[in-house]
Amino acid sequence: MKNYTVKITETLQMEVEIEAGSTNEAKEIVEKGWKNSEYILDSEHFKQVNFTVRTAERSRGYGRF
């Protein structure tokens, strides 16, 4: 049998309405709020999941027996 590495990527999404003078300012305000834990994304904000599979690479330190 072969070994496989499976990567699981979950996407959470929240929309925040903000009053600002520009799109850049709005982004900066929300980004700062997110960094300060004003916006907490959890399972209620689940958007999608992706699974990516690749064959696991052999470690170079192992030889054949």
pLDDT at 57: 80
pLDDT at 44: 96
Domain limits of the chain? 4-55
Residue 61 to residues 2, 3, 13, 57, Cα–Cα distance (Å): 18, 17, 42, 12
Q: Which of 13, 9, 2, 4 lies closest to 51 in space, CA to CA?
A: 9
CA–CA distance, 5 with 52 (Å, rounded to integer): 8
Residue-wise pLDDT for 20-47, tens only, equals 999 999 999 999 999 999 999 999 999 9
In the chain, what's the furthest Cα-to-Cα distance?
68
Tell me the whole-structure pTM to 2 decimals: 0.68
